[in-house]
């Protein structure tokens, strides 16, 4: 199916690896030009080379501060598509974290998403077209004490995305989100390699420490699945989708285990 995306532009935060990189690859395959933003210049350049097309622009920026976000926005044209993906909230119970831990994580992910939407939505509205996709996380649905900061952060972003969709609709724009469950990104692989080294004495056996019973279908989600879904959702072919957040967890939230 032709998704009518050829010639469009997309800005992807946290675009140098993991889900962001997978989204970039999917969009590029549909003829979109992408700008990838991340703090890590070296990783950005490696990803740009790996994607293998001149339709990739990279932009190093620290999106964990107002100044960093405003500086980034001052250097770019308004894209057709904004994909907020930067930031990871650390795990831990409330008593295991400091306020600085929580503030630092929220400055990048929660306030980062909100700030970029705040600045980008009027620019898109002035032009009359635009789509915003927030990559959030299942922690906002399945609230757990060992991930209390992430649960609260993601729940806030789910509510924010749904509410902003109402305003977006009045300007002819769309805002929606995706909640990925645990996804086999570089970050998860590194964790599993560490676990395999501790338990099996061999980091290369990391696939053996993935507990099939923990995941629907016996596996975590793949970044490419989130990338392909993102590509479909930003397409005008599903132009009536707005103000909602789609859970991608294989139905795990309804499990009785």
DSSP E strand boundaries for 2-144: 9-13, 33-38, 56-60, 81-84, 131-135
Whether 39 is covered by a domain: the verdict is: yes
Counting DSSP H helices and E strands in the chain, the numbers are 8, 7
Whether 152 is covered by a domain: the verdict is: yes
Q: What pLDDT is stored for residue 206 in this prediction? A: 76
Whether 239 is covered by a domain: the verdict is: yes
Q: Look up the CATH number of the domain holding residue 173.
A: 3.40.50.720
Q: What pLDDT is stored for residue 191 in this prediction? A: 65
CB atoms inside a 10 Å sphere around CB 151: 20
Number of domains in the chain: 2
- HSE (CB half, 13 Å, CA atoms) of 242? 18
Q: What is the DSSP secondary-structure string of 109-126? A: THHHHHHHHHHHHHHHHH
Nearest CA-CA partner of 30 in 53, 57, 61, 63: 53
Residue range(s) defining the domain that contains residue 123: 9-183+223-248
- Average pLDDT, consecutive stretches of 10 residues, N- to C-terminus, the chain (257 residues): 95 96 98 97 96 97 96 96 93 93 96 98 96 96 91 97 97 97 82 77 81 82 96 97 96 76
Q: What pLDDT is stored for residue 203 in this prediction? A: 83
118 and 207 share one domain: no
Whether 36 is covered by a domain: the verdict is: yes
89 and 140 share one domain: yes
207 and 233 share one domain: no
């Amino acid at each position: 199916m032709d998704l009518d995306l050829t010639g469009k532009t997309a800005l992807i935060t946290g675009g140098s690896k993991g889900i962001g990189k997978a989204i970039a690859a999917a969009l590029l395959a549909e003829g979109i030009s992408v700008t990838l933003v991340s703090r890590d210049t070296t990783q950005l350049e490696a990803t740009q080379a790996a994607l293998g097309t001149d339709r990739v622009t990279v932009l190093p920026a620290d999106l964990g501060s107002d100044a960093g976000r405003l500086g980034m926005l001052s250097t770019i044209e308004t894209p057709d598509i904004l994909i907020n993906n930067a930031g990871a909230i650390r795990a831990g119970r409330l008593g295991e974290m400091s306020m600085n831990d929580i503030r630092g994580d929220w400055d990048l992910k929660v306030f980062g998403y909100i700030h970029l939407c705040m600045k980008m939505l009027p620019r898109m509205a002035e032009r009359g077209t635009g789509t915003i996709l927030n990559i959030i996380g299942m922690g906002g649905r399945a609230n757990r004490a060992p991930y209390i900061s992430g649960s609260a952060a993601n729940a806030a972003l789910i509510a924010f995305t749904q509410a902003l969709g109402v305003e977006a609709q009045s300007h002819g724009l769309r805002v929606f989100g995706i909640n990925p469950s645990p996804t086999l990104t570089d970050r998860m692989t590194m964790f599993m390699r560490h676990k395999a080294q501790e338990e099996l004495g061999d980091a290369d056996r990391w696939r053996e420490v993935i507990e099939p019973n923990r995941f629907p279908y016996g596996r975590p989600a793949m970044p490419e699945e989130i990338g392909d879904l993102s590509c479909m959702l930003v397409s005008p072919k599903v132009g009536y989708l707005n103000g909602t957040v789609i859970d991608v967890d294989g139905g795990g939230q309804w499990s009785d285990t």
